[in-house]
Structure 1
């Protein structure tokens, strides 16, 4: 049997994302802000549950 030293790729799967506020991975990150630009791709920002609570951020789907 051949032995390998490579580690298998890990899947981030659904429910794992990036928090733009604490700049780290999170399982609770949701979209909170969409930045639209007239001449460019724009941006979307995500925040985890603790950062949303600390900063009073509202998930995008719950915004008026």
Structure 2
């Protein structure tokens, strides 16, 4: 049986399909790493997929104390 190498996300933590800011491609299970504030408008953020979070030791914003 194949076992997943992905870490499970905390309950209630949003994940989704989107653009990974680290490897510059679309991927599944992207998580928000940091939020970019703008003086007007909704702002933006940097998202990372599971392999990039592990490789670069990135901690999603929702998982920080």
User: RMSD of aligned C-alpha atoms?
Assistant: 1.7
Higher strand fraction: Structure 1 or Structure 2?
2
Q: Which runs of 5+ in 2 are unaligned?
A: 1-14
Which residue does the alignment assign to 2:55?
54
Aligned residues: 50
Structure 1: 4+ residue segments shifted above 4 A = none
Which residue does the alignment assign to 1:44?
45
- Is the radius of gyration larger for structure 1 or structure 2? 1
Give the structure-1-normalised TM-score.
Answer: 0.65
